Amino acid sequence: MRRVLLLLCTVAAGVLLWPGAAQAHPLGNFSVNQLGALALHPDRVAVAYVADLAELPTLQSQPSCTAVAAAFHVTVDGRAVGWTVDREVFTYSDGAAGLRTSRLECDLSGPADLSAEATVDVANDFAADRIGWRELTATADGVHLVDPPLPASSRSDGLRSYPDDLLSSPPSVRSATLRVAPGGSTTGAAAPPSSSALPGVLPASVLPGWAGRAELTLRGWVAQRELTPWVGLLAVGLALALGAAHAALPGHGKTVMAAYLAGRQGRPRDALTVGATVTLTHTGGVLLLGLLLTTAAGLAGETVLGWLGVTSGVLVAAIGVSMLLSRRAAGHDHTHGGGEHPYDHSPDHSHDHSDSHDHSHGHGSRDHGHGAGRPSRLAVVGMGIAGGLVPSPSALVVLLGAVALGRTWFGVLLVLAYGFGMAATLTAAGLLLIKVRDRWPARLRLSARLTRLAPTGTAALVLLVGSALAVRSLITL
């Protein structure tokens, strides 16, 4: 008997089954490759099982679904699920050296009570000794998977094409423990970190151009395995910028808000109030929506966003109506009192505005008693709510991604940064308009008639834009 070279014997063993040539099995001629795709339902567990056998295992034995069912163990709260084989398909295909490879497909199902909270243990002990690619996936229908440790879809397209990525080892997933909660919606979350966790929300980048790339970068950072302080800092900075960019997109009633602040004697403080309200509303809205989407079944993210758009538009329109109404009252006042409008005062006041904030403040408090010309606190807050009500889808995606990775608090922080970014844009727009308003009438000396008409015009504009926003959102629904 020949003496085997000790040092090389195991290496040579591998070489004999070298997966080099084009038609050879990509994972070597020894391999038995397996995929168990679990689908959890409230009343049963189903497994779509596939085995891909390379040339030599195909010659050695022909596996059956009965054998698979005996070795594929699933327990629900410790009780084993008994399998029924619903479908069994065994096929051959051509392999290397005139040999054949084979493929076994089994659909197994068994009753299980998953309507309440439950722990599902999965262990695939079929051909446990064999070398090969071993995948497990899990999806849920009508129940909810809590932080599933398994992906929702196969990496190898159901053992049809094995990725030849140099930087990943063949998976060897033999067992897993799943937690199931009632309610459900996810068809299996915690997919690859780069894509959205929820089907309802737009999975790819939701923003065009550089903002889209920035958003993908941000999601990449959130998904990073180990966060560093530097990455955390950059992520917040990027979230701020994305929030600001989101507010710069049309549909947040910026024009309306600016017009309102300009038409009514808005002060910088009002602009700040709007900013604060926007931040609060946006953050709260995104968090609430995120909570809704992760817990409630069958809720599509886009529909919710549409309805929020409608609400926002209606709110703006309502403010427009209230402005018109108060304008009528103010107009009445005007005819009686005469010259109450600040622009009818001496130019000093305008001069004060542009010069020093203190003066302008004094002017404001002095004028407070006049009432009608100033924007009401309620309307300003309403403006802010309208601006913040339509959540940035990208903030939502980032939040859900963070939640799926178990980094809820980081996600909340980023959403807060989004809100601040939006507030910054909107406040800046408001402040700019106030500035412009304060400077222009003083210099250009608009005719008194036009100035008198302006508030009515802005009220009409607010109403118009609000209605347009509502209608546009309604159409997309």
Q: 169 CB contacts (<8 Å, ≥6 apart)? A: none
Among 361, 435, 452, 472, binds another protein (CB under 8 A): 361
- Sheet architecture: strand order including 79-80: 79-80, 72-76, 118-124, 175-182, 143-146
Stretch that binds another protein, among 70-78, 161-169, 373-381, 455-463 (CB under 8 A): 161-169
Q: Is 444 in the site for another protein (CB under 8 A)?
A: no
By CB under 8 A, residue 336 contacts another protein: no
365 binds another protein per the rule CB under 8 A: no
Q: How far is the CB of 329 from another protein (least distance, A)?
A: 32
- For residues 178 and 454, which CB has a smaller minimum distance to another protein in the complex? 178
How many residues bind to another protein according to rule CB under 8 A? 90
Q: Is 418 in the site for another protein (CB under 8 A)?
A: no
Binders of another protein among 80-119, rule CB under 8 A? 96-99
Tokens of 236: 């917040």
Distance of CA 101 to the CA centre of its chain: 43
What secondary structure letter does DSSP report for 151? -
For the record, the structure tokens of 435 come out as: 């500035």
In this structure, what are the phi and psi dihedrals at residue 49, rounded to the nearest 5 degrees? Answer: -100, 135
Shortest distance, position 231 Cβ to another protein, whole Å = 5
Structure-block tokens of residue 207: 């923003």
Residue 343 DSSP label: G
**Residue list 241-300, contact with another protein (CB under 8 A):** 272
Distance of CA 68 to CAs 24, 30, 85, Å?
A: 25, 19, 10
Indicate whether 71 belongs to the interface with another protein (CB under 8 A).
no
- Least distance in Å: CB of 299 to another protein? 22
The β-bridge partners of 45 are: 40, 110
* Nearest of 218, 257, 251 to residue 432 by alpha carbon: 257
Tokens of 389: 């009500």
Subset of residues 183 to 212 that bind another protein, contact rule: CB under 8 A: 190, 193
Instruction: Match 């994972």 to its residue by tokens.
Output: 27
Q: Which is nearer to another protein, 113 or 147 (CB)?
A: 147
Residue of 164, 208, 336, 444 that binds another protein (CB under 8 A): 164
Among residues 71, 181, 227, 314, which is the contact residue for another protein, using CB under 8 A?
227
Q: Which stretch binds another protein (CB under 8 A): 166-174, 201-209, 345-353, 443-451?
A: 166-174
Tokens matching residue 467: 């209605």
Rule CB under 8 A: which of 116-135 touch another protein? 129-131, 133, 135
Residues 447-476 interacting with another protein (rule: CB under 8 A): none
Query: Judged by CB under 8 A, does residue 413 bind another protein?
Result: yes
Shortest separation between residue 318's beta carbon and another protein, angstroms: 30
Place of tokens 């900075």: 237
Near another protein by CB under 8 A: residue from 39, 42, 44, 59: 59
Q: Determine contact, residues 428/258, Cβ cutoff 8 Å.
A: no
Minimum CB distance to another protein, residue 11 (Å) = 4
**Phi and psi at residue 298, to the nearest 5°:** 60, 30
Q: What residue type is assigned to position 402 of the chain? A: A
What φ, ψ does residue 39 adopt, rounded to 5°?
A: -125, 120
Q: Is 215 in the site for another protein (CB under 8 A)?
A: no
- Least Cβ distance, residue 80 to another protein (angstroms): 24
- Cα(359)–Cα(308) distance, integer angstroms: 40
For residue 347, the minimal CB distance to another protein (Å) is 23
- Binding segment (CB under 8 A) for another protein, from list 85-93, 144-152, 343-351, 376-384: 144-152
Identify which of residues 173 and 242 has a Cβ nearer to another protein in the complex: 173
Is 240 one of the binding residues for another protein (CB under 8 A)?
Answer: yes
Alpha helices in 296-407 (DSSP H): 301-337, 347-355, 357-367, 377-389, 393-404
Residue bearing tokens 């809720």: 299
The nearest distance, CB 460 to another protein, in angstroms, is: 33
Q: Does 219 bind another protein (CB under 8 A)?
A: no
> CB under 8 Å to 472, separation ≥6 — which residues?
251, 309, 313
For another protein, give the closer residue by CB, 12 or 300. 12
Collapse the DSSP code of 257 into the 3-class scheme (helix H, G, I; strand E, B; otherwise coil) and give the result. Answer: helix
* Binders of another protein in range 26-45 (CB under 8 A): 26-31
Nearest-approach distance from CB 103 to another protein, in angstroms: 18
Cα 435 vs. chain centroid, distance in angstroms?
Answer: 37
